[in-house]
Structure 1
Amino acid sequence: MSRLYKFLPGLIICFFTAIFSFYLGEKIPLVGGAIFALMFGILLNLIFHFDDKYLKGISFTSKKVLKFSIVLLGFGLNIKQVLEVGKISLIVMIFTLSAAFGFGWLFGKLFDMNWKLSSLISAGTGVCGGSAIAALSPVIEAEDSDVTYAMSATFIFDIVMILLFPIMGKMLSMSDLSYGLWAGTAVNDTSSVVAAGYAFSDKAGEFATIVKLTRTLSIIPITIIFSYINQKKKSQESRSSSFNIKKIFPYFIIFFILAAIFNSIGFVSTDLSVNLVKVSKFLMIMALSAIGLKTNFRDIKKSGFKPMIHGFIVSIAVVIVSLGVQFFIGQI
């Protein structure tokens, strides 16, 4: 009981910040609870100076609660959807993911960026926005300021895409299927995909949402690959020949996979699945409020504009590659 009590003050702050952020996110889905949570967390950190009494619970929330939210997210995924969207969708996704991480690595090097921040922006752009950033950050042991910057960059580009995608889709005379595939593979956050998809047509919105949920499954190989990269870099920095193979497979990703499998085989009812995903979203917002509470605004300012330019280039690359692959295979 005493162990729980030491986390309680920080947990309470994160909980109430999350409730307010979740409420605003429901009212203004274009922004979303995650961004509100980060903003309020940073603002509270600027106003108040939290001592160790609060920091223990805040740190617990940003790490343990975040991982648990990722596990619950798995109950909203269905591996059968991979088969439903067809091989054309998978081909486009493979190319867009390659573009996101390929261009991310290249321009991260050119801009002399922190590789962890570069990877988070690439994951947010290529995989599924905030969920991918949240899943990858503990695996590569990213700084809180890097997570905040990556989230902010992804949010800005999503707003632009929501506004421009339907207009561009009409200009290109795209079909519902091709536009849905484009939005589902190129727009980042789920709520943004839904907004951009249904702004074109109901059919495009439905297909874009299915493609987006399928794209979320790529969290699994991405986190394992980057866990390996991080472990390799750590062993090189310490000049140690020892390499812990167990750390390549983070326990929360293993449980995430199991959750997706249970949901796919019908072990979890539809109602329970929906409710677990809602809990997952709230806990993720709670964890992101904790990350905001731990983030020093000066650390974000130090990063400058290069990461934002990096994110813009990666986003443009993903948009163009998604269109290009569809054109090449005759989908457009």
Structure 2
Amino acid sequence: MEETTVLTATPKKVKPLLDRSITTREVIFLLAVVFCLTPLITPPIALVMGLVVAQFIGHPYLHLNNKATHILLQVSVVGLGFGMNVTSALKAGREGILFTIVSITGTLVTGFLLGKFLKIEKKTSYLICAGTAICGGSAIAAISPVIKAEEKQISVALGTIFILNSIALFLFPAIGHALNLSETQFGLWCAIAIHDTSSVVGAAGRYGAHALEVATTVKLARALWIIPVAFLSTLIFKNKGGKIKIPYFIGLFVAAIVVNTYVPFVHKFSHYLTGFATAGLTLTLFLIGCGLSRKVLQSVGFKPLVQGIILWAIISVAALWAVTSLAQ
């Protein structure tokens, strides 16, 4: 009786879903998703697969992509916490705090001046600066409603950041090995110079387990700067009613580290949890690649991309000098 009521109440919504056959594009996409969840696919390969899908096949569920990557990234990062220890995490956090403060301040100031010089629209320039300074797409998503950015401005900023993220995933490990960086040095460098958490984890994970631990801890500590920067943004753009999104998942990440350190029972399952988290991050990079369609790439424009590249080059070189000179 209850089942009949549900079906007859929404026949127009249910029937098309039941009658519609799955398309070839959807089959290819879903098979790629399954492959990304296996150990056969590394984060860089997943990103390339996503780019291929975006350029030649098309994302069949593009309207859901942004929300899916957002949730999947947060869940995966929390899962990584079950493979970490409180003592080493605190050590990594202490090592990264000075780099974090200096680099965020320097990036925001340099980016502001660069945007003025290139005559880039103010809100677009600011979002690119915030994404480069803090944590890529997460910072842009958090700050855009505070400054009341338009969809076009958000798209340009996200496109710029994700293009550079894609390059960093391949470039950074190669440079790290060429310069014989230690895992601590590489982890710090990744956390400071690569924009998005997903690419930071992907690059650091390829370099080593300790590099991954350092990079993840420092990057998430860096992400907390979304809050003061968001408050600063309300003053700069005079939008007192702007809503600030606090990254609560960072608290869950810290809780996972604490549980893994002080609850021995969890050790039996921590290997599986971190394995699922790694697979989730690989899938996240695939979905990010799928979102970089030709339309997104074309919408970026020349000047914002130049601003992003110059800003990224400055912070990358400065951070590399800092970690090789000061970090052991």
Counterpart for residue 138 of structure 1:
141
| Aligned 8 A contact 2:160 2:305 in 1 | no
| Aligned 8 A contact 1:17 1:289 in 2 | no
Does residue 265 (structure 1) correspond to residue 259 (structure 2)? The answer is: yes
Q: Check 1:299–1:144 CA distance in 2 against 1; reply closer, same or farther (3 A cut).
A: same
Counterpart for residue 68 of structure 2:
65
Counterpart for residue 20 of structure 1:
32
Counterpart for residue 84 of structure 1:
88
Aligned equivalents of 1:118, 1:315: Cα separation in 2: 14
Aligned equivalents of 2:24, 2:143: Cα separation in 1: 27
Counterpart for residue 215 of structure 1:
218
Q: Check 1:29–1:276 CA distance in 2 against 1; reply closer, same or farther (3 A cut).
A: closer
Aligned equivalents of 2:99, 2:26: Cα separation in 1: 35
Which residue identity lines up with residue 79 of structure 2 in the other structure? Answer: F
| Aligned 8 A contact 1:61 1:287 in 2 | yes
Q: Check 1:290–1:36 CA distance in 2 against 1; reply closer, same or farther (3 A cut).
A: closer
Aligned equivalents of 1:312, 1:96: Cα separation in 2: 16
Deviation at 1:221, TM superposition (A): 0.8
Secondary structure at 1:265 match in 2: helix
1:170-208 superposed Cα distances (whole Å, 9 cap, x missing partner): xxxx7xxxx22111100342332244x4xxxxxxx3432
| Aligned 8 A contact 1:144 1:291 in 2 | no
Counterpart for residue 201 of structure 2:
190
1:45-74 superposed Cα distances (whole Å, 9 cap, x missing partner): 6xxxx9xxx7xx523331x22332133121
Sequence identity (%): 9
Decide which of 154, 161, 173 is 2:165's aligned counterpart: 154
Which residue identity lines up with residue 41 of structure 1 in the other structure? Answer: A
| Aligned 8 A contact 1:145 1:295 in 2 | no
Which residue identity lines up with residue 126 of structure 2 in the other structure? Answer: W
Decide which of 206, 227, 231 is 1:224's aligned counterpart: 227
Aligned equivalents of 2:169, 2:312: Cα separation in 1: 11
1:194-232 superposed Cα distances (whole Å, 9 cap, x missing partner): 44x4xxxxxxx3432321232243255133334444555
Which residue identity lines up with residue 314 of structure 1 in the other structure? Answer: I
Aligned equivalents of 2:99, 2:15: Cα separation in 1: 44
Aligned equivalents of 1:98, 1:261: Cα separation in 2: 24
Deviation at 1:94, TM superposition (A): 1.4
Counterpart for residue 147 of structure 2:
none
Which residue identity lines up with residue 211 of structure 1 in the other structure? Answer: V
Q: Check 1:91–1:4 CA distance in 2 against 1; reply closer, same or farther (3 A cut).
A: farther
Aligned equivalents of 2:143, 2:315: Cα separation in 1: 20
Q: Check 1:290–1:167 CA distance in 2 against 1; reply closer, same or farther (3 A cut).
A: closer
Q: Check 1:17–1:312 CA distance in 2 against 1; reply closer, same or farther (3 A cut).
A: farther
Counterpart for residue 133 of structure 2:
122
Aligned equivalents of 1:282, 1:44: Cα separation in 2: 20
Aligned equivalents of 2:85, 2:259: Cα separation in 1: 12
1:97-117 superposed Cα distances (whole Å, 9 cap, x missing partner): 234323321221222151111
Aligned equivalents of 2:111, 2:323: Cα separation in 1: 21
Which residue identity lines up with residue 85 of structure 2 in the other structure? Answer: Q
RMSD: 4.0
Deviation at 1:243, TM superposition (A): 5.4
| Aligned 8 A contact 1:41 1:291 in 2 | yes
Counterpart for residue 319 of structure 1:
320
Aligned equivalents of 2:94, 2:89: Cα separation in 1: 11
| Aligned 8 A contact 2:131 2:138 in 1 | no
Q: TM-score, normalised by structure 1?
A: 0.67
Q: Check 1:138–1:286 CA distance in 2 against 1; reply closer, same or farther (3 A cut).
A: farther
Decide which of 159, 163, 167 is 2:174's aligned counterpart: 163
Aligned equivalents of 1:297, 1:287: Cα separation in 2: 15
Q: Check 1:323–1:255 CA distance in 2 against 1; reply closer, same or farther (3 A cut).
A: closer
Counterpart for residue 307 of structure 1:
308
Decide which of 86, 96, 99 is 1:96's aligned counterpart: 99
Does residue 274 (structure 1) correspond to residue 274 (structure 2)? The answer is: yes
- Tell me the number of residue pairs that the alignment of Structure 1 and Structure 2 aligns: 282
Which residue identity lines up with residue 32 of structure 2 in the other structure? Answer: F
Q: Check 1:207–1:256 CA distance in 2 against 1; reply closer, same or farther (3 A cut).
A: closer
1:133-167 superposed Cα distances (whole Å, 9 cap, x missing partner): 34333212372342232122233345343223233
Which residue identity lines up with residue 102 of structure 1 in the other structure? Answer: T
Counterpart for residue 110 of structure 2:
107
Q: TM-score, normalised by structure 2?
A: 0.67
| Aligned 8 A contact 1:108 1:115 in 2 | yes
Structure 1: tracts of 5 or more residues without a match = 124-131, 198-204
Q: Check 1:289–1:111 CA distance in 2 against 1; reply closer, same or farther (3 A cut).
A: same
Counterpart for residue 127 of structure 1:
none
Structure 2: tracts of 5 or more residues without a match = 1-9, 145-152, 195-199
Secondary structure at 2:136 match in 1: helix
